[in-house]
Amino acid sequence: MTFAYASLVTHQLFRTDPRDMSKNNTSSYLDLSVLYGINETQQDLVRDKEKGRGLLYPDVFAEDRLVLVPPAATALLVLFSRNHNVSIFTSFTS
């Protein structure tokens, strides 16, 4: 599990600009952009906006670079997305 978390953190912190390899396109925060997306276009692909509750589509994540990492890292992202949906749902029903 340590390597899975390390893989997520690495992909979170390092997104090299393809046009200028010396430029990093990420923020200095660990904001789970690998799950939620780095811009509104990516966020629209993972969020179910029709229901208006801020839920994510089931078992999705925004980062396409993670397809080639070990499955444990993507499984963690699926767990994070399920936890997001449960937390949001319980806050609306409370």
pLDDT single digits (tens) 29-68: 778 888 888 889 988 899 988 877 778 998 999 988 888 8
pTM of the predicted model as reported, rounded to 2 decimal places: 0.77
- pLDDT for residue 72 is more than 90: yes
- pLDDT for residue 92 is more than 70: no
Q: Which residue, 36, 10, 35, 37, is CA-closest to 24?
A: 10
CA distance 75 to 52: 26
Please give the positions annotated as active site. Answer: 11
